[in-house]
Amino acid sequence: MNRARIKCPTCQRELDWESAPFRPFCSERCRLTDLGAWLTEQRAIPGDAAAAAPDADPQAQPHKDAG
């Protein structure tokens, strides 16, 4: 029976899917490197930037200056 072989998304090292405790990563270091990239926004899912702002109230009135 063939064992599934994959590449680590971070370092591209080939590993056995069945025996990899940090799958799909080869190690905890690669897993944390990937997490850090998402947290620092080096990686993101493409989409509409306006839809990503849940704090924006579409019925909020713009502030008018009295001056």
What is the tens place of the pLDDT at every residue in 4-60?
899 999 999 999 999 889 999 999 999 999 999 999 999 888 887 655 556 666 666
**Quick check: is 62 in a domain?**
no
Q: Please give the pLDDT value at position 3.
A: 80
**Quick check: is 66 in a domain?**
no
SS3 19: coil
Q: Please give the pLDDT value at position 48.
A: 79
Q: Note down the domain range covering 9.
A: 5-43
Q: Please give the pLDDT value at position 22.
A: 93
The CATH number linked to 18 is 3.30.50.10
**Quick check: is 56 in a domain?**
no
**Quick check: is 67 in a domain?**
no
What total of structural domains would you count in the chain? 1
**Quick check: is 11 in a domain?**
yes
**Quick check: is 12 in a domain?**
yes
Q: Which two tokens stand for residue 12?
A: 């591209």
Comparing 64 with 10, which gets the higher pLDDT? 10
pTM score above 0.85: no
